[in-house]
Amino acid sequence: MPAEPSQAAGRVTISEVAAEAGVGRATAARTLGGYGHVSPELRQRVLAAAEKLGYRANALARSMSTGVSHTIGVIVADIGNPFFAGLVGGVCDASRARGFDTIVLSTYEDLDEEVAATNVLIDKRVDGMIIASAAVSGREVGHVKEALKRGVPVVLVDRAIPALDLDAVVIDNRDAAREAVERLIAAGHRRIGFVWGPSMTQPPATRRELLAAAARNLWTDGERLRGYLDALDDARIPFDPELVMVGRKVEERATEEVARMLALPNRITALFCTETEAMTGALRALRAARLSYPRDVSLIGFDDSAWAAVMDPPLTMIEQPVHGLGAKAAEVLLDIVQGAEAGRETHTLRSRLIVRSSVGPPPGA
Amino acid sequence: MPAEPSQAAGRVTISEVAAEAGVGRATAARTLGGYGHVSPELRQRVLAAAEKLGYRANALARSMSTGVSHTIGVIVADIGNPFFAGLVGGVCDASRARGFDTIVLSTYEDLDEEVAATNVLIDKRVDGMIIASAAVSGREVGHVKEALKRGVPVVLVDRAIPALDLDAVVIDNRDAAREAVERLIAAGHRRIGFVWGPSMTQPPATRRELLAAAARNLWTDGERLRGYLDALDDARIPFDPELVMVGRKVEERATEEVARMLALPNRITALFCTETEAMTGALRALRAARLSYPRDVSLIGFDDSAWAAVMDPPLTMIEQPVHGLGAKAAEVLLDIVQGAEAGRETHTLRSRLIVRSSVGPPPGA
DNA sequence: CTGTTAGCGCGTTCAC
DNA sequence: GTGAACGCGCTAACAG
């Protein structure tokens, strides 16, 4: 098998195809690129030559001249977390359906990592990016503005950034939390613990202090906390700082804090958990205290899963449209990429309270 | 603000930086690209100009001339699945640490999608790819060979392909399954159900038929089944085709099949579940039959999670190093990308049986 | 050490 | 309809 040009690494170029077909590069490019007009005859010759040589377009080169990479980026806290995994799945599926591929970057809630991630995506000339940002204040959004300034469309997902007037795809965390806590209140509870939320080193002395802390933390955490307070307010239940968790958001800490709330003289009779590990941490504390739900304490948590449904008793949970969040974000982004005006609006998807059997009346009732 | 060249979309090129600094393109390229030698003086001038203009290298153009994209691809069944999410997290983290980014593609176990995915990655000129392939037979690996032929290194993860002599990063599924089933046997069980595995439409009449079906299905499923049989054989427990699940691998089906096994005259006293949803499906069947574990039936499952630990009683589970699988695969791949010889070996990571409280003696004992 | 020049592979005017 | 020639932004030989 002699003389075949660059058979080497199977890297066949359009010129080689043209040569094989006996036509000019442009003709080959036109038929292979699917643009312009080519006579049926030459067209066939080119196609045959491409087939024979095993030609595959070099997307990089194509991007070079067209300026579009058909690639988007998605930046989340942790792709290993089932919530973000589902969300990223939605992004990948929706973008793939429209001919785009997805680069995934995890930041582990580190703002510097997030900045680095946007730079990577800018450098790789993605056509747009989706960010579940850890940024909260107006000073932390420089990297997002930078991307925008460089012509890379951005849509926010899961977490809105009030300081930024951008398209965002979220659920109504505040309302979902309020509904859950209302449910607890309706069952007769007045001592309701809030597990997980804005991370604080000090217990908040006042409600104002709590909200201030929330403003320095993740948007979702703040919203869920506000929903909790909303429900309390509506029912005229005074806010008790002792009933909110303080410290790092890790399962162990949730266990400790719930244990503390359980040891209070006037102890909690219900718990609202804002995340999976807040719930599992709480469950550990209950077991350690030899308490059971919903008899001793009622439970509602965020992020439903197959496990929550098979717990005994099954857990009442808030289900988020994880896949939908990502898919919608991709749709909105690609609409912009493909010419639509950036809507700069907040798209709110519906969450759903799945009522099972972890809520009952408080012990005394 | 007049006359600034292509201030337009912030798309500053290296030539503009060179002009601003009053040096040749090459000098600018050398300092900005971090290669070759440049005098400290000019170096400073270039850096200042780049800073002033907000220069960012175009990774696409760079890839064009260097031939490396600093991007790898990872192909899995479903990024939304916590197992693959963790695995992909490992890939992303490990590759990012070495300056590479990751494109993620889900195939939903569809071989055509898998082929399409490899093509996408080839076209985008990734430097390598990691695949958890749905391919089993030698005829289904054309796309993998194609990638290899085109010079794109491939490493397999989670699932080996015996027909292919490639680097693979896996756990010893067979051994892990055997250990779990042995544990059940040691507790006195002889009627042990196998939930989830090679999907079959017909119940296997014989053991031979079962193994034949396994050969047409996912590698992991076959291995876990073999481990189950190994343990049975060692204990001289005859294989009973009625104790293996038949049908599609969905939670509902697991529930139905476990219900069936529970209704058998000589019913099961233990269950080995090979995946999360096989376990949750089984749990649903137990509840429906008003049976509890480990009193009525003992349980061991694959893929540990925070939920499994807070079940009551907590579940004995096999923990896979999900993040580690992905990270190791990325390491092996990047070693090859960066010049190492493809080892063509199977790297086996350790899984771990986490003993909790879902195994007890059989009811009669 | 520095600047000039030639590609990388493809899209795209512009004459033929 | 078709083909030659130029440009995308960068790296890498090659001279100076």
List of residues 6+ apart from B186 with CB closer than 8 A: none
Alpha carbon of residue B289 to chain centroid: 35
> Does one domain contain both A200 and A306?
yes
Q: Tell whether the model's pLDDT for residue A151 goes beyond 60.
A: yes
A125 in any annotated domain: yes
Check CB contact of A280 with chain B, cutoff 8 Å: yes
Mean of all residue pLDDT scores within chain B: 94
CATH code of residue B33: 1.10.260.40
- B64 nearest nt, CA–C1': C8
Judged by CB atoms closer than 8 Å, whether chains meet at B92 and A105 is answered as yes
**Residue B154 and residue B229 share a domain:** no
Cβ contact, residue pair B306, A151, below 8 Å: no
The CA distance from B201 to the nearest CA of chain A, in Å, is 25
* Residue the block writes with tokens 């089906």: B253
% of chain B residues with pLDDT over 70: 97
Strand D nucleotides below 7 A of a protein CB? 1-5, 7-13
Q: Check residue B189 and give its pLDDT.
A: 98
Same domain, A121 and A208: no
Q: Are residues A242 and A124 in the same domain?
A: no
Nearest C-alpha in B relative to A283: B310
Q: Which two tokens stand for residue A31?
A: 């038929």
CATH number at residue A133: 3.40.50.2300
Q: What is the DSSP pairing of strand B316-319 with strand B298-302?
A: parallel
Judgement on whether residues A96 and A192 belong to the same structural domain of the protein = no
A chain contacts of residue B98, beta-carbon cutoff 8 Å = none
CA–C1' distance A18–D2 (Å)?
12
How is the beta sheet containing A270-273 ordered, strand by strand? A192-195, A270-273, A298-302, A316-319, A352-354
**Can you give the C-alpha Rg of chain A in angstroms?**
27
pLDDT at residue A1, as a whole number: 26
pLDDT for B55 equals: 94
3-state secondary structure of A230: helix
Q: Based on C-alpha coordinates, what's the Rg of chain B?
A: 27
Cα B81 from Cα A41, distance rounded (Å):
49
CB-strand contact A341/D, under 7 Å:
no
Nearest by Cα to B204 from B172, B184, B236, B229: B229
What is the mean pLDDT of the segment spanning B108-132?
A: 98
Residue showing tokens 């090679």: B198
pLDDT band at B10 (very low <50, low <70, confident <90, very high): low
Strands B71-76 and B128-131: what pairing? Answer: parallel
For residue A346, how many other CB atoms are within 10 A of its CB?
14
* Residues B156 and B106 placed together within one structural domain of the fold: yes
Mean pLDDT of chain A: 94
pTM: 0.96
Asked if residue B192 lies in contact with residue B271, where contact means CB atoms within 8 angstroms, the answer is yes
Which nucleotides on chain C have any atom < 7 A from a protein Cβ?
A: 1-5, 7-13
Search chain B and give the residue with CA nearest A96.
B105
Q: Answer whether residue B63 is part of any domain.
A: no
Whether residue B155 contacts residue B336, with contact meaning beta carbons closer than 8 Å, is answered with: yes
Q: Is the pLDDT of residue B43 over 80?
A: yes
Q: Is A2 part of any domain?
A: no
> Are residue A146 and residue A249 in the same domain, yes or no?
no
Is residue A260 in a domain? yes
The answer on pLDDT for A175 being more than 90 is: yes
For B332, the token pair is 């092996």
Q: Are residues B298 and B313 in the same domain?
A: yes
Residue B155 falls within a domain, yes or no? yes
Residue pair B199/B247 in contact by the 8 Å Cβ criterion: yes
Give A-chain residues touching B69 at CB under 8 angstroms: 60
What is the reported pLDDT for B76? 98
- What mean pLDDT is predicted for residues B242-268? 97
| CA B295 – CA B362 distance, rounded (Å) | 7
Q: What φ, ψ does residue A110 adopt, rounded to 5°? A: -95, 120
Cβ neighbours of residue B32 closer than 8 Å, sequence gap 6 or more: B14, B17, B46, B50, B55, B57
User: Which residues constitute the domain of residue B75?
Assistant: 68-170+322-349
pLDDT at A36: 78
Q: Which of residues 8-47 of B touch A (CB under 8 A)?
A: 9-11
> Three-state DSSP class for B225?
helix
User: Is residue B355 one of the residues assigned to a domain?
Assistant: no
Nearest residue: Cα versus C1' of C7 = B65
Res B2: pLDDT: 28
Per the domain annotation, does A6 fall within a domain? no
Integer CA distances (angstroms), A222 to A215, A219, A288, A318, in order: 7, 5, 29, 17
Instruction: Give which of B268, B246, B248, B267 is closest to B257, Cα–Cα.
Output: B246
**pLDDT given for residue B36 in this prediction:** 78
Encoded tokens for B193: 């159900």
**Phi and psi at residue B272, in whole multiples of 5°?**
-115, 120
3-state secondary structure (DSSP) of residue A83? helix
Q: Which residues pair with B244 in a beta bridge?
A: B194
pLDDT at res. B7: 40
Q: Looking at the structure, tell me whether residues B85 and B220 fall in a common domain.
A: no
Domain assignment present for B108: yes
- Given the DSSP bridges, would you call strands B316-319 and B352-354 parallel, antiparallel or unpaired? antiparallel
pLDDT of B37: 85
Residue listed under structure tokens 């007049």: B2
State how far the Cα of B264 lies from the Cα of B277, in Å rounded to an integer. 22
Position A239 pLDDT exceeds 50? yes
* CA count, 13 A, side-chain hemisphere, B322: 21
The answer to whether residues A179 and A269 belong to one domain is: yes
Tokens of A307: 């496990």
Tally the domains of chain A: 3
- My answer on whether B40 and B72 are in the same domain is no
Query: What's the confidence (pLDDT) of residue A4?
Result: 35
Same domain, A23 and A85: no
Kindly state the tokens that stand for B237: 């427990």
A 10 A CB-CB count for B182 gives 17
